[in-house]
Structure 1
Amino acid sequence: MSDNVVKDKHWKKAEHRTKVLSALPEQLGPGDVADAMEALGVSRATVFRLLKRYREDQRTSSMLPRPKGPRSVMQPLEPEIETIVRHHFTRLYATRRKPTVTRFWREIAADCRMEGLPAPSIRRLGRWLEEQDQADLMRRRDGKSKSEPVFLATPGGLTAPNALDIVQIDHTKVDVTVVDPVTRLAVGRPTLTVAIDVNTRMALGFYLSLEPPSLTAVALCLTHAVMDKGAWLAARGIANAWPVRGIPKLIHVDNGAEFHAHAFERACSEYGIELAYRPPGTPRFGGHIERLIGTMMGAVHLLPGSHFSNIYERGDLDSEAEAAMTLRELEVYLALEITGAYHARVHKALDLPPQAVWNMAFNEKEPRLPQDPRQFLIDFLPGEERVLQRDGLHLFHIRYWANELRWLMGRSARKVMIKYDPRDLSMVFVKTEDGIIEARSADLTRPSITLWEHRAARRALREAGRKVVDEDLIFSTILAQRSLVDEAQRTTKAIRRQRNRRSHLPSQKMIDITPEPAAQERLATNRGEGGKPLKLPYYEVEEWDDD
């Protein structure tokens, strides 16, 4: 009540000022100023100040009374906070990584908290950034001038009344190059497969690999989403909680071939999961997963080896040369970003952190879980149907056998379903009415190989003109290829080490060993004093093996 009275009182005063000032002529005379002073009850200086404000704005609200005292201006940061802000401005914000202001503020807030200092607000930090040299900042962040790209908004169109009602899964090429863990040389950009719960916005799980999108990536991502993640986090030294788990009611995906695979559709039906596909060419229908992927890519843009979102942002940065993180290190980084940042921040669409919404959803009930986690993964793996022959099962020109297969001999001539993990072809899973039978390579001396190694070996054989596939030759080819790669790595390392050893040597000789003129003449004619043949000593040089 009192606030309304005050506001009405101020507004009436503003209306009175407007009425008096609007009646004043363009050229003021002494009598005009005196009349205005009397009507408004203010000094001469105040009349001119109010008149200037009114003629610049021409609105009644410009005549509202202003608080007494000096106007509020931005106070300078405390010296200790200014030091932290400057440090992150130089090392993070004003660099080619181009983080957002929010990310810039988080890094500063984390350091302020460690030092026991109050963190500046993000609005205060934005005003601080506006005071910096914008031309220099753009030059340091962009490297060189570039045109401004145009982006299209992709709002989500799905709503889920409860947690795990709708889960979206999608793939993306990660905007960063990873390196080999041994040689630390660049090996390429990995593929991220990630799942999100539409209702709570929780990231349910993900899978990272160097292979293109596949049914295996979907199976491993979905298994990671459904299962408890305690052991997975502990194996990677992550202390953050990731409480999400459970079988979804519906999975919403795009029209990728892996999502239309028979094995995927059958496995979803097996566990009572409905499938829904986006209309072709409409990524906006996957807005929730697209925004999560965008958040994850915004985080990796801070890493060495980042490619950024497009060529405009990357400029002339050599991402391959700056790459430094392995696939496992990137996996841990993404897990920390999800569990320690994304889940704990207030989501704009929820007005709560996703983890808080998830906890409320499953406060008194448990999500639906598979009875056998191993069976769940196997059901979603790719598979092939094969006839059980007398010598076992044949898949990818490799023979598999298990003693339990003897009981299937002669039962039926029907084909059996064989599930396989492309990451390891040393074992396959045979689905029977009584459960799963593990069948291993009939030759136990065979090394574990991947499906991609197997295909590469077959391509090499075809290029060599081999018409008949030979199992022994496939494995010997793979071993030879591995040996070649290992030898190349050792040789490259030895050469780099020799070059580094020689790099400290001066370009000129340290000791002058040039013979005297007379000695030079004797050496040239191979004759000693008196014309006798010159015998030179023979030295054996021992060669050192760097390895």
Structure 2
Amino acid sequence: MSSVELREGLVVVAKGIVCVVTKFTSLDNISVISQKEGKRFIVPFDEIEFFPAVTDEGVALIAPELDELARNASDDEITLAESRFDVIGRYSCGEISLAEALVTLEMSRSNFYRLKKNYSEEIGMLSLLRYNRGNSKGALKLTDVVERYIQESIDEVYSGSSASISKVWSDVEAKCISSGNPLPSMTAVRKRIKMRDEKELYKKKHGADAASQKHDARPGKKIFSRPLERVQMDHTLVDVILVDNVRRQPLGRPWLTVIIDQYTRVILGYYLSLHSPSAVSVSSAIYHAALPKFSFLQKLGVDVERYPYYGVPEIIHMDNAKEFRSKKFESACIRNKIKPEWRPIGKKHYGGHVERLIGTFMTGKVHFLPGTTFSNVVKRRGHNSDKASALTFKEFTKWFVKEVCIYHGRKHSELGCSPGSKWAEYFGAGGDAPMHPPIVSNPFKFKLDFMPEVTRSVSPQGIEFKKCFYWDAALRLHVGKAAVMIKYDPFSLGTIWAYLDGEYLPVHFSDVTKSDFSLEEYHAQKMQGRGEGHTPAGGLEDRSLAEYVHENKELVKRSQSETRRARKAEAARSEYLSSQREESNEIDVPVDKTDKADRPNYSRRATPFKGKNYD
């Protein structure tokens, strides 16, 4: 007889029970599980009988589909098949009569004989297993043309956030009607869509980035052993609308650039702005993170001991935004021994720590502020963010720094302690641990490396920047010089630095009574000036004069119209006279032989008539 390959999942008979091979325990034994009771036991190879049985010619007695049916048969189906096999076997041996067999099996004579045709001593009870009615699972019965239409429509129509089964079916319907093919049902189209790879469908509907986030494997993670070893930086538009300082009218949403230490989850530094992320945002966040924040906290009225975290990071991880890819920023990092690192395109999970931090701040803090816009239109439904807005930029800045301090004191779910405690475990813990992070030896030079820069001319009044004039006595020798490089600190515009004679010269406000302000306060005032009720330079302060503007416009229009009318009339009159002269030249007109001397001279002034003189 031909051999049978022993494999896991093969249906066999062990100790007279139908079983399935589960694994090989040794060279002589195998582990099986009974299909009827689900019991596991170990049997030697020589005590099992194999299915499917084969003839001497190697032809299988049990068809492959029967073998598959036996694998998937339930316990109830196997019990029923064994019962029928036993009754028909006893009837075939003459142990019971036909009537007794029919009563035992509770079936009619015709069904009994139909069942008896399937009875096989060699195959055993498997020969009497019932087949499921209807199409087998996964069977497809549409024509090749309709199948092609469905696949084409899935590729073409199932795309974007509005992708749906009904849109695909409508497209297939149009193709079938045009070509005269039968229409498939909605269920058939749904079945073909579900047969596609789940990641492929998610990518078509939500994009490659979202599909990667949901379905791509992310084995392992980087382990860090100390603070400042690696930080992450990112931007976000804060979900709240701020108001101006004077009229308390909606101003807009601020941007946040934040840097988080991956080991301790401490917010090492940040920058709030009213403009889109730029090199200014990046530079300001960098040196806010790297340097102590004493003056910054004192200006906001916060105890300096509440935010003692600072330090130059070894690696700074960012996405691929253009402000992170600038050559100036990259060279400034290298000069200060900071390694810039950019995440692979489309791999947002590489910046997971800062992404989660931003999400936590939005949902747990910002979304409870007046004027919040929430994170989506569903949550925002019925909420008027503009009407509810109440905080100015300066007030929001003070609120935010205190919330950062609170965040540092709350227990972190992944750390098992607060970020502040995790930082303190490393710094100031005693022994060989350092008491504080290394301090930048030349903070001014460090700030200059990252400070934003512009070029300005030196006029007799000084240097003009952000509508303010800056002056220093040393500028007298440089009046008239153009394209002078200017560095400025976005946190404090009271002083700028002009690069003259190979070094940076500090230049202060010309008006010594002028108070210091930040770049974002300047932007807020500028945005406020654009609001309703504020007159720009050259604007009309006396609104009642607007009526004269309209009246003068109408006067000019009328004068233009009258002039065009008069010119048209004059042109018509000239044309008429010209045509009359041409006609008179064609007719013989008697020549006037009157002496020119006798003709009246109309150029002379008339003499008054005094009557006749009779003397």
Structure-2-length-normalised TM-score: 0.43
Instruction: Please report the TM-score for the alignment, with normalisation by the length of structure 1.
Output: 0.48
Q: Which has the higher contact order (CA 8 A, sep 6+)?
A: 1
